[in-house]
Amino acid sequence: MGTRQEQEQASTEVTEVAKDVLRMQLPISMPGLGHVNCYALIDADGAAVVDPGLPTPGSFTALKDRLGQAGLTVKNVHTVIVTHSHADHFGGTSRIVKESGARVVAHGAFSFGGAPSEPEVSVDDLHAHRHGTEPAERGEFGERPPIVVESSARGWAGKTPWGGERPRPPLKMRLRWRAMRLLGRAMSFPPISHPVDQGDVLRLAGREWFVMHTPGHTNDHFCLHNAEDGMFLAGDHVLPTITPHISGLSLEKDPLAAFFASLDRAAALPHVDLALPAHGHPFSDLAARCEAIKKHHDERLEKVKKIARELGPATVQAFSRKLFRQRSWGSMAESETYAHLEHLRLLGDAECRSNGKGQLLYEI
């Protein structure tokens, strides 16, 4: 499999994708991804930035360089918009606020955890990148910076709802993360000065942007839609060539159903001419891409049903080992598998019971 758009390394070039809307690619060091798009929305007062990258010195240096190309400094940033609670999207916020006093816009359900956990991208896309070219930038302690998701609030210990092991990083990284916390060097997030929800309106770059709450990838994910110029700031909700990770450890009862509903609402938006994703290149046909992502998951659900007929009552781990290749086995694959099995159960297409050993058995 060749390199996907989202896995391309960050370009230093700043491009104006629409009047007063700049795409700035920042370096990233997370499996499955090569860059994060930070968008600068320019107005007479300075700029708002959307998703200001990882909490690493290299990322912040790149951000200052990209702003400089536009004749701006960090002190000119009056607003930081964080589409969701993953570190490559909120990581630079604290330093921007410290230097400029910018207001912070995030969804009212924003959940700042504190531990590395699940990936941004689906297990299939995660594996494809692991065997490709890895980005060079690393965090202050020589490791990749943590990924923060809702499940991190539960910590690394204990079992998952389906009776498996919780996703967690290697022991060395966990120990270093604990040391960072003790030294006060762990990631922090400033207070959200401007929480938003579905239907709220933000005035940015001389335009009105409507907030669309899009749970699925995370419970607190939101996108911005400018109807007048047909633009859609998509975050990780809709990516051009890969699919976001849908975790079975989400705060949503049925994260896959929430994701489907969010995709349907995005696809129904009229006259979207330019979708601006957090990874990969801008694209035009938002509705078609939403349908393609839904089709991917529908095909996976059908595959789960077929596996069920072969296995009979089986654990999430057993399902995941049929659903994914051996190279992808593990807690991440189990998490995605659980999300799909729970979706089928809640639809009435599957049954679930305990096997008496702390594990769930699913039958279709």
What are the domain boundaries of the chain? Answer: 299-363
Which single residue is written with the structure tokens 């807690």?
331
Residue 175 has pLDDT above 70, yes or no: no
Question: Is pLDDT of 337 > 70?
Answer: yes
pLDDT, position 166: 78
| Predicted pLDDT at 158 | 76
Under 8 Å between Cβ of 323 and 303? yes
Percent share of the chain, pLDDT over 70:
82
Q: Give the start-end residues of each E strand in the chain.
A: 14-18, 21-30, 33-43, 46-50, 77-81, 103-107, 194-196, 201-204, 207-213, 222-226, 231-235, 274-277, 314-315, 351-354, 360-363
Judging by beta carbons within 10 Å of its beta carbon (0-12, 13-18, 19+), is residue 146 exposed, middle or buried? buried
Residue 143: per-residue pLDDT: 32
Residues 83 and 263: their CA atoms lie apart, in Å, by: 16
**Single pTM value for the model:** 0.87
Q: Give 299-363's CATH code, choosing from 3.90.1300.10, 3.30.300.30, 1.25.40.10, 1.10.10.10.
A: 1.10.10.10
Q: How confident is the model at residue 3 (pLDDT cuts 50, 70, 90)?
A: confident
pLDDT, averaged across the chain? 87
Q: Taking the CB of residue 253, how many other CB atoms lie within 10 A of it?
A: 9
Q: Is the pLDDT of residue 251 over 80?
A: yes
**Rounded CA Rg of the chain:** 20
